[in-house]
Amino acid sequence: MIISHQSHDIATATGTMRTSVYRPQADGQFPAIIFYSEIFQQTAPIARSAAILAGHGFVVLVPEVFHELNPIGTVLAYDDAGKDKGNADKWAKPLESHDSDTQALIDFAQTQSYCTGSVGAIGVCIGGHLAYRAALNPAIKAAFCLYATDIHSDTLPAQAGNNSFERMADIQGEIHFIWGKQDPHVPQEGRAKIYQHVVATGINYQWQEVNAQHAFMRDEGDRYDPALAIAMYQQAVALFSRTL
């Protein structure tokens, strides 16, 4: 499908959130996918991934995940300075603010004439955590979480009783977890902790561990695995085509 790209400034409980919208140019209505980025926000690799998904018949929303903490349009570089700033933002923004962002994105999608009203979520790295977090919202019918950081460690700021790990049982839609076995950010013991809780809660899940490093989807840098990335796109498209 040929796609188009626009930017929208969406009002949230914590300020204006610039959101890129990638969608088919064809007439009609399409389901929406919220695509949560890495800490660096909408880099060129994230934009290309969003375009790939949109070309399969989805409206893909890419929010600036740390909009409260940066000027509109901020994109951090894949270098030490960018990593330090992105990690600082990650520790500064409470999960409750991500929750209200997600609700604003759902409200936006459900009021657009080109959307069916069905919404899913996908993300990489911290974005994988945010896709998981989005799945706590009953409007999210499916989530595809790629090497989601910080779920096992409960290190992101949240109010008492509201961290992501302990709220897993609230997930009502289908959720897929994809992990790299060589990912130091989510080691084997962290994956085991999450898996045991997934089984105990009885949520609707799929689990996959692959021979890959962290950020294997990012088509820049020496950790990129093109063949594996294509397989992940296919799996995500299959999930969203079936559930949305």
Catalytic positions are 125, 183, 214
Residue 174 backbone dihedrals phi, psi, to 5 degrees: -90, 140
- Sign of torsion over alpha carbons 28, 121, 177, 148: positive
Angstrom distance (rounded) from CA 100 to CA 119 = 15
Q: Which residues contact 198 (CB under 8 A, 6 or more apart)?
A: 168, 177, 205, 207
Residue 64 and residue 129 in contact, taking contact as beta carbons nearer than 8 Å: no
Q: Give the count of alpha carbons within 13 A of 151, CB side only.
A: 35
Q: H or E segment at 234?
A: helix 226-243
Torsion angles phi and psi, residue 209, rounded to 5: -115, 130
DSSP character for 169?
Answer: G
Q: Is the alpha carbon torsion for 195, 199, 201, 206 positive or negative?
A: positive
